[in-house]
Amino acid sequence: MLSITECLDRLEALLTSGPPWYLPGRRAPWDEEVRSVLHRLREALSADAKRAAGGAEAETILRRAQDEARRIVLEAEDHARRALEDGTLARAAEQQIQQLREQAVREADETRRGADMYALSVLERLEREVARILSTVQRGKTVLMERTGSRMSMGPAGPSRLDNGKAGKVTVS
């Protein structure tokens, strides 16, 4: 699977060396705007990738990237709809738009899976830390019970001390 940057490079290469979309030897009127949109997308992805390195903003970045991708796709569709009048070019553009949509969906799914995996790893680390703390608490209780030489019990009313059977009664302290 191609990375987002590789896909952008491929799209730019198609614009540069692909079949002419306008008159031979001339650029299409929307060529510069498409290049500008590609450049902005690259910048947005680069900035989002740096922020995502912290991990805490992964979901927010994912939503913003999806919104930005939708906005760019809608902008490109609208621009292509206005710029293309020839039926053959319109069909080719529609196919390319569909491919871009499918690619955006695949990349969004991949990003979501990455965010889910990150969240799972954070929860697993938290679970291990909580287990470590619980183990420390239990060892501390054991040491304290051994030091006092008596049995401690945790009931619904809190800790109680059993009187080792001397008077046959249970006292609560």
Q: What is the distance between the alpha carbons of residues 16 and 113, in angstroms, rounded to a whole number?
A: 33
DSSP single-letter state for residue 18: S
The token duo for 135 is 């183990």
Contact indicator for 136, 144 with CB cutoff of 8 Å: no
Evaluate if residue 43 carries a pLDDT over 90. no
Domains of the chain by residue range: 4-127
Contact indicator for 15, 28 with CB cutoff of 8 Å: no
* 15-29: pLDDT as tens digits: 666 555 555 566 666
* 58-102: pLDDT as tens digits: 777 778 888 888 888 788 777 767 766 666 676 777 889 999 999
